[in-house]
Amino acid sequence: MNNNIKLEETFTWSSLKRKNINISKELFSERNGKQVFLISSEVAALDIIFSYYRECGYLKDKNAEIWVPERIGFRFYNTLQKKCFPSIVQSDVTKGIIVYHHYGYPQNMDKIISKARDNNWFIIEDCAHALMSYYNGKRVGFLGDVGIFDFSTFFPSLMGGAIVTDNNEMGEYIKDKLENDKTWGKNFFFIIKLFYEKSRNQNVKLFWRKWGEMSYNIYDSNYCLNPIVELIVKQKLFEKALGIRSENKDFFLNELSHYNIFNKINDHESVTPYVIPLIAEENQQKNILRQLSIIGVETSINHFDVNRDMINPNFVKCVCIPVHGGINQEYREKIVEAVIKGINCKS
């Protein structure tokens, strides 16, 4: 058994075995006429999409305003501000909206789509945490004008992702960009991420972290998927990693259902989560965090929008519970025991 369990599965070289799997067909079989493009990273996907909107004239310049979620990563934000003006509030000059399906739980898409269509906004779905979730029977990421998917949050691939769209003009633009991408960065960025991930010495880890931070200035302009990333994703698909993740989710929800600590998954939704947000009283969360640390689970207290509605959000504190394929039956039971101890602890 591993000594530590992280929120994401740890990369190992032993996972690299060639499998005859088509990633696009395996992950996006219900594309329904949409085009799928494999790409190096989520930020590269953002760069190429907003380059298209700029070049086709829909976004006039960097001052063109885009409505974004309240909580987005700094790399995501830095990529956006090269092409537009990201704002956490809507205004009369808003041109588009980015919808973030946090932890894989779908946003209220009926409400959001209606508002976007009324205002003639384009809709980009950020599915970094929602690789295989559904809303009203439709795949999350297929509901807006374009969907962005991230492989590294679901597989130990460090990089990689996909763009899905039914905009044929955008599709031709992306295809041209990928075919003419002559940069060597896909190998450079992967090596930096790998060395950072595998470093055990904190000084060495800091060294590679600084290299990574510097490289992010050009990271988003590298488009093509790294071949090692492709191998990792294929191997994990062969191992049914997404099915295992769903099984782990169901186990935790069933074993802890009577404690009322989870955001409800509605009948019209199906969720394969990145993590499960566990919502409890503040002292209980601290106790749960302490108990999880004792058994080697590395997690933290974060925030989650329990409304799942960026128009009217309600962020509350939560403890993130990992559900990835690196968690076996024994560790699942240990996690449940730790959560129950944390809930019942009086201190």
In tens, the pLDDT along 254-302 reads 999 999 999 989 889 999 999 999 999 999 999 999 999 999 999 999 9
CATH architecture of 241-344: Alpha-Beta Complex (3.90)
Please give the C-alpha separations between residue 136 and each of 28, 116, 124, 127, 214, in angstroms, as whole numbers: 17, 18, 18, 16, 42
List phi, psi (to 5°) of 122: -80, 155
In contact, 41 and 219? CB cutoff 8 Å: yes
pLDDT confidence band for 2 (50 / 70 / 90): very low
Q: Can you give the pLDDT at residue 13?
A: 66
Alpha carbon distance 168, 160 (integer Å): 23
- The mean pLDDT of 175-181, rounded to a whole number, is 89
- The mean pLDDT of 142-154, rounded to a whole number, is 95
pLDDT tens for 7-46 read 888 877 665 667 788 999 999 988 788 999 999 989 899 9
pLDDT confidence band for 251 (50 / 70 / 90): very high
- pLDDT, averaged across the chain: 89
What DSSP character marks residue 184?
S
Candidates 111, 131, 135, 137; CA nearest to 123 is 111
pLDDT tens for 226-244 read 888 999 999 999 999 999 9
- The mean pLDDT of 212-233, rounded to a whole number, is 79
**Dihedral sign for Cα atoms in the order 47, 48, 53, 55:** positive
Q: Can you give the pLDDT at residue 3?
A: 65
Decide: helix, strand or coil at residue 262: strand
pTM above 0.85, yes or no: yes
Q: Can you give the pLDDT at residue 38?
A: 96
98 sits in which H/E element: strand 94-100
Given a cut of 70, whether residue 184 has pLDDT beyond it is: no
Given a cut of 70, whether residue 347 has pLDDT beyond it is: no
CATH fold match for the domains 13-227 and 241-344: no
In contact, 288 and 343? CB cutoff 8 Å: yes
- The mean pLDDT of 129-157, rounded to a whole number, is 95
Residue 103 — left, alpha, or beta (φ > 0 → left; ψ -120 to 50 → alpha)?
left
Q: Can you give the pLDDT at residue 113?
A: 96
- The mean pLDDT of 307-320, rounded to a whole number, is 95
Q: Can you give the pLDDT at residue 20?
A: 85
Q: In the chain, where are the structural domains located?
A: 13-227, 241-344
Assign domain 13-227 one CATH number from 3.40.50.1360, 3.40.640.10, 3.40.190.10, 3.40.50.10260. Answer: 3.40.640.10
Token pair recorded at residue 209: 């972290």
List phi, psi (to 5°) of 4: -135, 140
pLDDT confidence band for 64 (50 / 70 / 90): very high
pLDDT tens for 187-198 read 777 777 777 777
pLDDT tens for 90-126 read 999 999 999 999 999 999 999 999 999 999 999 999 9
Q: Can you give the pLDDT at residue 1?
A: 41
